[in-house]
Amino acid sequence: MRIGCQTYTWEMLGDKWTGTPQDILDAVAAAGYEGVEFSNAMLGPYAGRPEAFAAAAQQRGLAPAAYAFASTGFTDPECFGADLEAADDALRFAEALGVLLALGGPAKPEEAQYDAALEQAIHFYRIVAERGSARGVTVCVHPHSHYGSLLDSAEQYDALLAATVDSGLMFNPDAGHIVRGGQDLLDCFRRHRDRIRHVHIKDVDSAGNWQALGEGTSDWAALFALLRETEYTAWVVAEEESAAAFADQNAAISRNREYLRQLGL
């Protein structure tokens, strides 16, 4: 397993973040991660310039771990054309980097018309996965537990993954969102072990509040033992969304990296 860091730690600040992608790369390298996963929201001047981004990462001893793309929640038919065009751009970026593409989970601000919204998202994921396969890019879905998520329960995860199995869509489980949605973490990983190609980790307490790794309810030793048992050798990407991370991103990601070292990672 290789250990990377995700850029949502900075993205969650919104307009309060005034730094640059280079600042993030510097912080991730200084903390001792092997790689970094950028989202489309954080690329800044590297948008549409994968070679320049790869060079900037390489200069700091970092490997691109994946490319994450999210936009509207993928549930609105009126946004389908724009979403698909942007996803094609994301596929080209991922292809140039030689990494997989992680698509954000389906979301809808209103709870009405759940079935139609999920059907629209499934249609989108299937097309992007098939286009990714044609380019040699693995496409994963990354369900979440906020912003009107349509996926929280085990049954909801199962339904989406079952509906996309023949499209080549793979699974990017996020441990924190799985627990926050009320699922058993290890059970979710076991159920979908054959679809997992990329893993996100972050911690959450029993009240649903984000915490630093090791300060929430997740049994990380058991999860990593399961990943080793299943011979998982791809990226494990740490995220941090706690109040402490909101106050000091660099310190938070450094603390998480040290915690993972203590687990032998």
pLDDT for 165-224, tens place per residue? 999 999 999 999 999 999 999 999 999 999 999 999 999 999 999 999 999 999 999 999
CA–CA distance, 65 with 131 (Å, rounded to integer): 20
* pLDDT in the model for residue 3: 98
Rounded to 5°, angle at Cα 201 from 196 and 206: 120
* pLDDT in the model for residue 111: 66
For residues 57, 62, 67 and 69, what is the CA-based torsion angle, rounded to 10 degrees? -70
Task: Output the six-digit token pair for 261.
Answer: 């070292």
DSSP three-state, residue 2 = strand
Q: For residue range 148-178, what is the model confidence (pLDDT) as tens digits?
A: 899 999 999 999 999 999 999 999 999 999 9
Q: Which residues of the chain have pLDDT under 70?
A: 111
190 strand-pairing partners: none
CA–CA distance, 140 with 76 (Å, rounded to integer): 20
pTM, two decimals, is 0.96
CB neighbour list of residue 9: distance below 8 Å, 6 or more residues apart: 239, 240, 241, 245, 249, 252, 253
* pLDDT in the model for residue 158: 97
139 strand-pairing partners: 101
Within 13 Å of residue 119, how many CA atoms lie on the same side as its CB? Answer: 5
CA–CA distance, 154 with 173 (Å, rounded to integer): 12
- CA nearest 218: which of 229, 200, 206, 235? 206
* pLDDT in the model for residue 153: 96
Q: What architecture does CATH give domain 2-262?
A: Alpha-Beta Barrel (3.20)
Chain-centre distance of CA 30, in angstroms?
22
With contact defined as beta carbons under 8 Å apart, do 170 and 195 qualify? Answer: yes
Phi-psi region of 100 (alpha: psi -120 to 50; beta: other; left: phi over 0): beta
CB neighbour list of residue 38: distance below 8 Å, 6 or more residues apart: 7, 21, 24, 46, 53, 64, 67, 68
For residues 59, 60, 64 and 67, what is the CA-based torsion angle, rounded to 10 degrees? -100
Burial class (CB in 10 A: 0-12, 13-18, 19+), 123: middle
Question: So where are the chain's domains?
Answer: 2-262
**C-alpha torsion sign, points 227, 102, 4, 13:** negative
